[in-house]
Amino acid sequence: MRLPRVRFTIRRMMIAVAIMALGLFAYPFLIDLFSGDGPYNAERRVVRSWDYGPASSVTVDIFEGWISVSSSTDGRVTAEIRSESVTSRSQRAANQALGTIDVTTSQKGQSIEIIGRGASVPAGPLGLGYITNKVLVDLHVPEGARLNLRVGRGQIDAGGVVNSDQSWRGYFVAGTIQSGTDRL
């Protein structure tokens, strides 16, 4: 019995090589997409504390997340800053997305600044999966503190630090402001 003769043409070989290359290229993405049950979380925490003078101001500007403000008892400004990344893809993707969040804290003279910026993260191959990056700031300030709070998408909660004889200003693009009127 004679086997059929296989004809290797240049076109057939190019198609076979192209299919193999696409398979090898797509393999890591498919493993990320279908390996596990998610969601996967990555988190980084930073705690900072500053002295607060009578002419000081506190600015918090974040791209997405929430800012919670409450009264401090020691007369200092203290911030617990949490950067979070949540994804449906993989733990490695969550860790990589966390690396795109940049939080800086500084004190320049009488001004304290907390700035959180995040890069846009693609959802995954063919738009599958999700990635959410955010910065959560828990801020403790002395009574009467001058605040300038901004959030691109999220929430500002200033309950308990606003009273009738002090002014509070909150600048935000989107989100909600919740404030109380009694002293803590």
Domain boundaries, the chain: 40-179
Total Cβ atoms within 10 A of residue 116: 25
What pTM value is reported for the model? 0.67
- Per-residue pLDDT tens over the stretch 123-140: 555 556 678 899 999 999
Q: Are 178 and 159 in contact (CB under 8 A)?
A: yes
- Residue 113: what pLDDT? 93
Q: Are 184 and 70 in contact (CB under 8 A)?
A: yes
Query: What is the spatial order of strands in the sheet that 40-51 belongs to?
Result: 40-51, 76-87, 131-141, 65-71, 154-158, 176-179
- Residue 172: what pLDDT? 42
